[in-house]
């Protein structure tokens, strides 16, 4: 006989998940767990807005089929984490979606979203282009202190690149930098309970996308540039992404090392610090950040940094959200040969994942011939496994023509929460707060009463001083690069050279 129990938060067998909500608009959701000897099925009410009759209409979308679709995987994550990270290319985990995988996709998506939530992109701010918080307080300021990760390094890129609409710069005299933008972070799981739940010590690289929508896409010239990360010059990537990843500015303290050099040296440092432990490298990003996530994953693998000193391979997984194509077919094939696992999540109405490579891409069965025999210079290919989501399936979202909504990361995570499988419609599983959708867009139906673009710092960061005047307080100076960056970068290059010579 099935037993019933009520709870107000989601539990798996090893860890309690309580999704943080920066703005508590709705009351706590009531969840009903149905337990049988072999499975556990979560059936939850929608957020309680009893005065809104449309809620009842929305609930009609959550019919009895979910009892057959949403079965909880009771195996501890620590036992199956390689599968969740893509060791078998997610075979059997996507349709319907495995419960562990859904939560991990959302968790890593929120780590990418943290890059947006912490970035100062106001051109009237003297700190425009930087992170609002110092590393030691980063997750705490974003209500993510319970995630069990610690910041190891911030990442920066220079404005001296072939993507002019990427760079955010203050209109005022700057105390920050005229040459650098903050681009993301490297974090490591440090909480022992989280490490136990994950089954390994996880290293996360999160890349920021652009805060404006399609301007940067218009800057893509479809020009492919040899990657130069190996001796194979036929492996090519889009030139703007290459510039952003490899350029540096010696006169700038934050960009004296390129984004590439920052990543490689930090992975080398982390490997040495946690030598002998089970590690994983998970890279995530949205939009332009998704392109950088794939590019850095390829670089780490090509430089053989995903091997321990004893020769054990460290898995590299990319959770890509709304990302464009990055390189040519040779790039795709090389990523696959290196064992990089990529799970791409896209909204079918989003234009960004369709570029570059409109005329020659992985959907063309003759692409290999076009690229190799005809030497067509604008041939691109997506890498990895794709999950197509459709915002028309969600009863909460408007049928808007605003293309920025279709590209929004919070909206995409909302769709992941409700994904039942192909052709199965929408039904919220983890009951992620729908108010988050409107954090930086206007996508929710008006009857939900959630303001558009609601997330901002209290009083936009202004504080009232003792004399009664409102001012923007000074911020602590952000860390640039650890003093041993050059040393670890040198070690990376020596290791890569030695590995190449041994292979010969």
> Residues of 210-222 as b/e, b for ≥16 C-beta within 10 angstroms?
beebbebbeebeb
φ/ψ of 345, rounded to 5, equals -115, 125
Catalytic residue chosen out of the listed positions 40, 287, 427, 480: 287
What is the token pair recorded at 370? 């076009």
What is the token pair recorded at 82? 């390689």
Which residue in 439, 467, 471, 434 sits closest to 452, CA to CA? 439
What is the token pair recorded at 470? 């409102």
What is the token pair recorded at 151? 């910041």
Give the whole-angstrom CA distance, residue 292 versus residue 286.
9
**Residue 170: active-site member:** no
| Exposure on the CB side of residue 326, measured as CA atoms within 13 A | 34
Give the angle 416-263-316 at the CA atoms, nearest 5°.
45
For the chain, the 3-state helix, strand and coil shares in percent, each to the nearest 5, are: 30, 20, 50
Task: Please provide the DSSP assignment of 148-195 as one string.
Answer: -EEEEEEEEEES-SS-TTT----SS--SS-SSEEEEEEEEEE--HHHH
Give the whole-angstrom CA distance, residue 197 versus residue 202.
11
**Residue 440: active-site member:** no
327 three-class SS: strand
Catalytic residue chosen out of the listed positions 73, 117, 243, 350: 350
Give the whole-angstrom CA distance, residue 144 versus residue 138.
8
Give the whole-angstrom CA distance, residue 504 versus residue 493.
17
**Residue 152: active-site member:** no
Under 8 Å between Cβ of 424 and 437: no
Over 383-445, what HEC string results?
Answer: CCEEEEECHHHCCCECCCCCHHHHCCHHHHHHHHHHECCCCCCECCCCCCCHHHHHHCCCCEC
Catalytic residue chosen out of the listed positions 407, 417, 427, 481: 407
Residues acting as catalytic residues = 287, 350, 407
């Amino acid at each position: 006989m099935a037993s019933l129990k009520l709870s107000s938060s989601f539990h798996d067998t090893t860890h309690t998940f309580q999704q943080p909500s920066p703005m508590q608009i709705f009351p706590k959701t009531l969840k009903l767990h149905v337990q049988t000897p072999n499975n556990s099925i979560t059936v939850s009410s929608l957020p309680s807005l009893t005065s809104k009759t449309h809620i009842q209409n929305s609930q009609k979308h959550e019919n009895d089929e979910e009892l057959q679709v949403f079965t909880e995987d009771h195996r501890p994550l620590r036992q199956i984490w390689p599968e969740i990270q893509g060791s078998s290319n997610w075979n059997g985990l996507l349709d319907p979606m495995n419960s562990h995988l859904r939560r991990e996709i959302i968790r890593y998506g929120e780590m990418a979203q943290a890059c947006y939530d912490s970035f100062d992109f106001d051109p009237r701010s003297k700190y425009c282009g930087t992170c609002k918080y110092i590393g030691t307080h980063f997750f705490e300021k974003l209500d993510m202190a319970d995630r069990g990760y610690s910041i190891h390094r911030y990442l920066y890129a220079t404005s001296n690149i072939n993507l002019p609409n990427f760079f955010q710069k203050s209109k005022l005299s700057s105390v920050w930098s005229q040459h650098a933008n903050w681009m993301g972070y490297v974090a490591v799981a440090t909480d022992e309970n989280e490490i136990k739940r994950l089954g390994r010590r996880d290293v996360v690289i999160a890349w920021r996308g652009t805060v404006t929508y399609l301007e940067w896409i218009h800057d893509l010239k479809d020009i492919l540039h040899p990657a130069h990360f190996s001796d194979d010059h036929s492996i090519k990537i889009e030139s703007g992404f290459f510039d952003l990843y490899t350029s540096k500015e010696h006169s700038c303290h934050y960009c004296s090392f390129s984004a590439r050099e920052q990543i490689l040296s930090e992975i080398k440092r982390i490997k040495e610090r946690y030598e002998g432990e089970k590690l994983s490298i998970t890279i995530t990003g949205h939009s332009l950040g998704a392109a950088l996530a794939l590019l850095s994953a390829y670089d780490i693998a090509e430089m053989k940094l995903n091997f321990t000193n004893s020769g054990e391979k460290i898995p590299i997984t990319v959770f890509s959200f709304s990302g464009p194509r990055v390189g040519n077919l040779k790039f795709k094939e090389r990523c696959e040969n290196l064992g990089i696992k990529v799970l791409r999540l896209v909204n079918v109405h989003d234009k960004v994942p369709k570029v570059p490579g409109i005329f020659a891409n992985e959907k063309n069965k003759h692409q290999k011939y076009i690229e190799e025999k005809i030497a067509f210079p604008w041939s691109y290919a997506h890498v990895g496994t794709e999950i197509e989501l459709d915002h028309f399936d969600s009863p909460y979202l408007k049928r808007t023509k605003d293309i920025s909504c279709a590209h929004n990361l919070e909206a995409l995570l909302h769709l992941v929460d409700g994904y039942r499988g192909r052709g199965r419609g929408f039904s919220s599983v983890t009951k992620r707060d729908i108010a988050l959708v409107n954090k930086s867009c206007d996508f929710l139906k008006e009857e939900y009463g959630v303001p558009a673009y609601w997330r901002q710092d209290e009083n936009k960061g202004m504080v009232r001083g003792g004399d009664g005047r409102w001012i923007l307080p000074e911020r602590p100076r952000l860390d640039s690069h650890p003093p041993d960056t050059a040393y670890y970068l040198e070690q990376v290059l020596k290791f890569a050279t030695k590995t190449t010579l041994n292979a010969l």
